[in-house]
Structure 1
Amino acid sequence: MLYPLKFEPILKERLWGGTKLKDVLGKPIQSEITGESWELSGVDGDISIVAEGPLKGASLSELIQKQGKNLLGESVVERFGLDFPILIKFIDAKKDLSIQLHPNDDLAKERHNSFGKTEMWYIMDADPGAQLIVGFNKSVEKEEYVKSLEENTLLDLMNYEEVKEGDTFFINTGKIHAIGAGVMLAEIQQTSDVTYRVFDFNRRDKDGNLRELHTELALDAMDYEKKDDFKVMYPNQKNAHNQMVDSPYFKTNYLNIDKKMQVDLSTRDSFTIYMCVGGKANIDNGTGRTMLKRGETVLVPASSDSVTIETDKATLLEVSI
């Protein structure tokens, strides 16, 4: 049986990135503008590589080819084939990200032969006053939105949310959004890298060029209604599975643990991912044992009947399909 798998982080420089992934989470970076650490990825060109144990050096795609249902779960394979359906990241925004949105599955399939991009954010660290942009502050007509782009007044239509550690947001497709400066977060999303950038604060890249905008593509993908459906309120019972998100694309629980905890996985026909967002813990599925500290992620194969989490204090995000 497969053991709990940790993967090498795939580090991404971004115009808006900083050094928190190194300074706070201990990622092995030298750059001053690292914005993302892809922890678990099946995206073409960025396939995760096992970091330790007997399978060290194997790619996620190789493991899926060889292990299939043992790794992913029978129902996951039936739905997604041999594509890994989740992309896991840690993000550090030293500067504001562009204002953007993501298309739904139907549009993404038609235009890009890709999945759409539903995602959630868990705030791990936030400078005082740090904000997110999530949705509009009122319902708008498409014409009003286009006019705001032309007149450079889009920011007046945005809804701002000041954030702190532990705040959680669910970003469904079509919702305009942006991560603000001073925020570090954990992101769980569908496997997709399709983003429609609609406003970038008129910034220029390292070569002095304005970054590409996707104004026309975004028009038919955007939800123009004001909706208060994005802030996730979740319980915080100790040593229990506290449900955060239950969507068609992924399910996420919050685990606040201060003692040994046994998790029954025998009825779960899916892999399980643990993202450590605080403290540290040992993850043991009976075949292998993996130590997890803040800023690390482990993939527990679907063939595992149970997992033991040993810790004095840890906060984990538990993700499955």
Structure 2
Amino acid sequence: MAIEHAAVQVVRKPWGIGDLHPWSSIDVAGDPVGELWFQRTHKHAAIPALLLKLLFTSEPLSIQVHPDDEFARSIGLPNGKTEAWYILAAAPGARVALGLKRRLTPQALRAAIRDGSIADLTQWRPVAKGDIIFVPAGTIHAIGAGIVLAEIQQRSDTTFRLFDYGRQRELHEKSAVAVSDAGPVQPETGPRRITTARTALITSQHFVIELIDLPANSNWALNADRETWILAIEGRARIGSTNMSVGDAVFIEGDRSGIEVGADGMRGLMAYPGPDPVVALLQGAGELTKYAGMSAGDAPKSSETVEVQA
């Protein structure tokens, strides 16, 4: 049983930034910060299946790809890396790359990595605040400059680089060709409303990501029977004994907690292992748990609020 105000690990990157406000009050002295990793606070706690991060970019990141579970295990790793990005802020003209403009054979992909033409073959798209982008393992991708995003991913740091803008780091041609789905991406399924307070943004085998929008001065019950991460992106709330404001995260597993929402309401991201949204995770004060045990497709479509067992 655990309810923890997540600790923050600072990861410095040359493509990061020097001012993290309003997402963090950490004093960024020295090298720029590219990532904040949210971690459990207890030293000997079990390692969660998911990793929650904030990324800050002043330059484009490398064009890269991650392995799926099968390939990762074939090289002795516990799992692959599927991820998703929620755009928290984006400068005018900010963009990300997802997939390729056309399908390449393994031989053509290898040649494009060697001569650098892969940079012109990636499919770039503009992004804006509130966008959600799903990046399945095997998808060639990149994050451009001028973006702040929340990343939810399988807990893995295995990355194969295809292009790195002359940064003189190693490229991973053989592995990248082996794991890449070297073509355009499939259209994403749109967000789906679960209740008036909860919208499923991503539903995948590895994780579910919800946007939660809790009204001002409301009270909720959170019942999480599996690991659940909550990241505050607007407003304030108190979860158990933990005060949350923008950029704070809470980890909860095998426990129940109350949520008291502040005078300005609270919007946040909530993530937990997939494959399906759990209908009974968040319950408004005074509501009955009559929907507990329903499948996601049976979730109420009106203003009814349900308990969610994440």
- Superposition TM-score, scaled by structure 2 size: 0.81
Could you tell me how far apart the structure 2 residues matched to 1:28 and 1:249 are? Answer: 34
CA contact (8 A) 2:13 2:31 kept: no
Structure 1 gaps, min length 5: 41-47, 51-57, 65-82, 204-209
Matching of residue 26 in structure 1 with residue 40 in structure 2: no
* Worse overlay, 219-228 or 18-27: 18-27
Could you tell me how far apart the structure 1 residues matched to 2:153 and 2:107 are? Answer: 30
Number of equivalent positions: 271
Equivalent position to 1:225, from 169, 183, 187: 183
Equivalent position to 2:106, from 142, 151, 156: 142
CA contact (8 A) 2:99 2:141 kept: yes
Structure 2 gaps, min length 5: 274-310
Could you tell me how far apart the structure 2 residues matched to 1:228 and 1:200 are? Answer: 25
Secondary structure at 2:5 match in 1? coil
| Structure 2 match to 1:269 | 225
> How many angstroms does 1:22 deviate by?
4.6
Matching of residue 202 in structure 1 with residue 166 in structure 2: yes
Could you tell me how far apart the structure 1 residues matched to 2:12 and 2:98 are? Answer: 24
* Worse overlay, 24-33 or 253-262: 24-33
| Structure 1 match to 2:242 | 290
1:245 is aligned with what amino acid? I
CA contact (8 A) 1:38 1:87 kept: yes
Percent of aligned pairs sharing the same letter: 28
1:15 is aligned with what amino acid? P
Could you tell me how far apart the structure 1 residues matched to 2:19 and 2:154 are? Answer: 24
Could you tell me how far apart the structure 2 residues matched to 1:109 and 1:96 are? Answer: 30
**Which digits, 9 at most, give the CA deviation of each residue in 1:127-170, with x for residues without a partner?**
11000011111222222222222332112211111111100011
What aligned pairs does 1:33-48 form with structure 2 within 5 A after superposition? 33-40=32-39, 48=40
- Superposition TM-score, scaled by structure 1 size: 0.78
Could you tell me how far apart the structure 2 residues matched to 1:32 and 1:279 are? Answer: 30
Could you tell me how far apart the structure 2 residues matched to 1:112 and 1:30 are? Answer: 37
> How many angstroms does 1:295 deviate by?
1.1
| Structure 2 match to 1:78 | none
Could you tell me how far apart the structure 2 residues matched to 1:192 and 1:13 are? Answer: 18
Could you tell me how far apart the structure 1 residues matched to 2:237 and 2:209 are? Answer: 18
CA contact (8 A) 1:136 1:226 kept: yes
CA contact (8 A) 2:22 2:247 kept: no
| Structure 1 match to 2:115 | 151
CA contact (8 A) 2:237 2:244 kept: yes
CA contact (8 A) 1:272 1:302 kept: no
> How many angstroms does 1:227 deviate by?
2.0
1:219 is aligned with what amino acid? V
> How many angstroms does 1:24 deviate by?
4.5
The CA RMSD measured in Å over matched residues stands at 2.0
| Structure 2 match to 1:69 | none
Secondary structure at 2:179 match in 1? coil
**Which digits, 9 at most, give the CA deviation of each residue in 1:212-242, with x for residues without a partner?**
1111111110001312335x63257985111
CA contact (8 A) 2:101 2:183 kept: no
CA contact (8 A) 2:225 2:253 kept: no
* Worse overlay, 275-284 or 166-175: 275-284
Could you tell me how far apart the structure 2 residues matched to 1:218 and 1:151 are? Answer: 15
Secondary structure at 1:21 match in 2? coil
CA contact (8 A) 2:139 2:185 kept: no
**Which digits, 9 at most, give the CA deviation of each residue in 1:190-225, with x for residues without a partner?**
01111111110112xxxxxx1111111111100013
Looking at secondary structure, tell me which structure has more strand per residue. 2
Could you tell me how far apart the structure 2 residues matched to 1:238 and 1:25 are? Answer: 30
Matching of residue 128 in structure 1 with residue 84 in structure 2: no
**Which digits, 9 at most, give the CA deviation of each residue in 1:98-138, with x for residues without a partner?**
00010011111121423100111000011110000111112
Matching of residue 318 in structure 1 with residue 270 in structure 2: yes
Matching of residue 301 in structure 1 with residue 266 in structure 2: no
CA gap 1:27/1:234 in 2 versus in 1, 3 angstroms: farther
| Structure 1 match to 2:174 | 216
CA contact (8 A) 1:20 1:184 kept: no
Matching of residue 253 in structure 1 with residue 235 in structure 2: no
| Structure 2 match to 1:240 | 197
